[in-house]
Structure 1
Amino acid sequence: MFVPKTHEEQRNAIALACRVLANRGLADGILGHISLRIEERTLLVRCRGPQEQGLAFTKASDIRMVDLDGNPAAIGELDGGYAVPNELPLHTELLRRRPEVNAVVHAHPPQVVAADLAGIAIRPIVGAFDIPGARLAAGGVPVYQRGVLVRNHTLAGEMLDSMGARPVVLLRGHGLTSAAKTVEQAVLQALSVNVLADLAIRISSAGGHLIDLSDSDLAELPDLGGTFNTGTAWRHELARLGEIK
């Protein structure tokens, strides 16, 4: 999988990821954001501009560089009426606390919110249908119980206490936060959680009962590797956007 090296490539990669989120229905409207650590105290983050149109229309120019305190990390980064997300502390506190994480996705998937409010947890109900999703769910998907805007360090700390060392946390009545080494991994994790939430709602609505995959079946699921799980999966997402001909 191509790994962006320059800041221009990284901005474009984040913009594409934002459009993938919107294309998949996880970030309808103008809410949601993605960040990427590029140095120890510096990150690129999707900001809101004066002509904001939503994540589906994100351009590389909407991705701006700031430090962990939310200050512009380079001259002109917040010129032109651009502003960092209100929930920037969600990103910066996560990057501070978890050095193994480089990318953070925050989105508002309706299916995830609906499942959580219905008391339906994200569980490993599928097997080979989505192996990375099954493994993620088997490890548990915690829930931050407050339906608030995570706009300061205190609230971000509460969310991270709920999240622990897990890759994804749900936010009650709000959405989810996904963390990974790469933007692509963080987005694909969010997609898996959304699919599991959608399946759980459909099963429950049809009068069915959610049954976790057995430990023996989970153990039998192979690790198909990053080339397939991330590389091939991400090319598919870009193709859906028309970015690959």
Structure 2
Amino acid sequence: MRERIATACRVLAARGLADGILGHISVRTGEDEVLVRCRGPRERGLAWTEPADIHAVGLDGVPRDGIGDWSVPNELPLHLEVLRSRPDVTAVAHAHPPAVVAADLAGLAIRPVVGAYDIPGARLAAGGVPVYPRGVLIRTRRLAREMTDSLGDRPVVVLRGHGLTSTGATPEEAVLRAISVDTIARLSLTIASAGGTPADLPAEDLAELPDLGGAFNESVAWRHEVAGLQPEGGGRPGS
């Protein structure tokens, strides 16, 4: 699992969703234990995340595995509160995608403007992507509760002037959902910059979109993301 979390962090960086040293991923591994990406003594950023950067903490925020020179994220409460309040969630990804921030500040909601272009993304957007309206560092349980109130029972919440929090049954699912939201945000900005207005796909078209199943939505898509990583963690070909 540490290797999977490290790989998911590198994908976030390669996709441009978590620049520099910002962003982190956590996974529930027990009733009261979480593995989370921490900042180490040789911190170089998410693109170079290694399994050694992933450490166990309790739901009380106390390190469990001799964290040593590593430090937990300032926004650890963001992860812990989602995992406390959402038993259906196993993984949480927090990232700072510039397009998601820009689209929200421009008044462009994440809506189902695409169809077969990204079927999982269209389905996610059709269910609604809420916004937490405060551009704060979520480093207290009080602020984390505000964010989870905005998240509700949805898989992703946009954080105004900040980024997003994405959830899933696995770290891979949480990251793929974040990528879909980022893709829709980028398309919405492009449409608006060309003078158009992003419009929802008609309901009858959404109803025609098939459920391609987890094997395609996650396994095949994830192999593509991992294949795009350069050995040194420097990004995707052509990025």
TM-score (norm 2): 0.95
In structure 2, distance between residues paired with 1:24 and 1:68: 29
Query: Which residue is 2:170 aligned to?
Result: 182
Alignment counterpart, residue 9 of structure 2, candidates 13, 18, 34? 18
| Structure 1 residue 51 displacement after superposition | 1.7
| Structure 1 residue 209 displacement after superposition | 1.5
Deviations 1:41-84 (A, max 9, x none): 0010000012211100100000001101111223x2x11x1000
Query: Which residue is 1:221 aligned to?
Result: 209
Query: Which residue is 1:115 aligned to?
Result: 103
Question: Matched residue of 2:26: which SS?
Answer: strand
Query: Which residue is 1:32 aligned to?
Result: 23
In structure 2, distance between residues paired with 1:53 and 1:117: 29
Alignment counterpart, residue 166 of structure 1, candidates 154, 164, 167? 154
Question: Matched residue of 2:228: which SS?
Answer: helix
Query: Which residue is 2:237 aligned to?
Result: none
In structure 2, distance between residues paired with 1:72 and 1:46: 12
Unaligned stretches of 5+ residues in structure 1:
1-9
| Structure 1 residue 90 displacement after superposition | 0.3
Amino acid at match of 2:167: A
Deviations 1:200-234 (A, max 9, x none): 00000000121100111001000000000000000
| Structure 1 residue 242 displacement after superposition | 4.3
User: In the alignment, is residue 143 of structure 1 matched against residue 138 of structure 2?
Assistant: no
In structure 2, distance between residues paired with 1:72 and 1:116: 35
Query: Which residue is 1:5 aligned to?
Result: none
Question: Matched residue of 2:158: which SS?
Answer: strand
Amino acid at match of 1:16: T
Amino acid at match of 2:84: R
Amino acid at match of 2:25: I
Query: Which residue is 1:155 aligned to?
Result: 143
State how many pairs are aligned: 231
User: In the alignment, is residue 87 of structure 1 matched against residue 78 of structure 2?
Assistant: no
In structure 2, distance between residues paired with 1:211 and 1:31: 32
User: In the alignment, is residue 99 of structure 1 matched against residue 84 of structure 2?
Assistant: no
In structure 2, distance between residues paired with 1:235 and 1:242: 13
Query: Which residue is 2:119 aligned to?
Result: 131
TM-score (norm 1): 0.93
Alignment counterpart, residue 196 of structure 2, candidates 208, 212, 225? 208
Unaligned stretches of 5+ residues in structure 2:
232-239
In structure 2, distance between residues paired with 1:50 and 1:117: 35
In structure 1, distance between residues paired with 2:230 and 2:139: 34
RMSD (Å) for aligned C-alpha atoms? 0.7
Question: Matched residue of 1:241: which SS?
Answer: coil
